[in-house]
Amino acid sequence: MVLLDMAAKLSRDIGVITLDTGRLPEETFTMIDTVRRRYGIAIETVTPDPAEVASMVARHGPNLFHDSVPQRMLCCQIRKVRPLERRLASFDAWVTGLRRGQNGSRADILRIDETARPVKINPLADWSDEEVDKYIRENDVPLHPLYSRGYGSIGCAPCTRPGSGRDGRWWWEADADKECGIHFSANGKAERSVDVLLRDIVAPSSLRQKPATDETVSDRQPGINEIQARTVDTPVFPPFSPRTVATHQGFTLWFTGLSGAGKSTISAIIERSLREGGARVEVLDGDVVRTHLSKGLGFSKEDRDTNVRRIGFVAELLSRHGAVAIVAAISPYRAVRDEVRSRIPNFVEVYVECPIEVLAERDVKGLYKRALAGEIPSFTGVSDPYEPPLAPDVVVNSSRETPEQSAAQIWATLEHKGLVTFPLRLAAD
Query: What pLDDT does residue 192 have?
Result: 44
Query: What pLDDT does residue 426 have?
Result: 81
Query: What pLDDT does residue 304 have?
Result: 93
Model confidence over 127-152: pLDDT tens digits?
888 998 899 999 999 999 898 888 88
- What does the alpha-carbon distance between residue 159 and residue 168 come to, in Å, rounded to a whole number? 8
Query: What pLDDT does residue 39 have?
Result: 85
| CATH superfamily of the domain spanning 2-240 | HUPs (3.40.50.620)
- What does the alpha-carbon distance between residue 20 and residue 320 come to, in Å, rounded to a whole number? 10
| Residue count of the chain | 429
Model confidence over 293-351: pLDDT tens digits?
888 888 899 999 999 999 999 999 999 888 999 999 999 999 999 999 999 989 999 99
**Which of 185, 331, 342, 406 is an active site residue?**
331
- What does the alpha-carbon distance between residue 424 and residue 275 come to, in Å, rounded to a whole number? 11
Rg (CA), the chain: 24
SS3 content of the chain, % helix, strand, coil (to 5): 45, 10, 40
Report the DSSP beta bridge partners of residue 17.
Answer: 44
Q: Return residue ranges of the chain for CATH 3.40.50.620.
A: 2-240
| CATH superfamily of the domain spanning 243-416 | P-loop containing nucleotide triphosphate hydrolases (3.40.50.300)
Rounded to the nearest integer, the mean pLDDT of the chain is 80
Query: What pLDDT does residue 203 have?
Result: 54
161/14: higher pLDDT: 161
Res. 421: pLDDT tops 90 = no
Model confidence over 347-384: pLDDT tens digits?
999 999 999 999 999 988 889 999 999 998 889 999 89
- What does the alpha-carbon distance between residue 156 and residue 170 come to, in Å, rounded to a whole number? 10
Confidence of residue 169 (pLDDT cuts 50, 70, 90): confident
* Catalytic residue check, 264: no
Numbers of helices and strands, H then E, in the chain = 17, 12
pTM: 0.47
Q: Return residue ranges of the chain for CATH 3.40.50.300.
A: 243-416
Long-range Cβ contacts of 50-53 (<8 Å, 24+ apart)? 50/248, 50/250, 50/320, 50/321, 50/322, 51/248, 51/322, 52/78, 52/82, 52/201, 52/202, 53/22, 53/78, 53/79
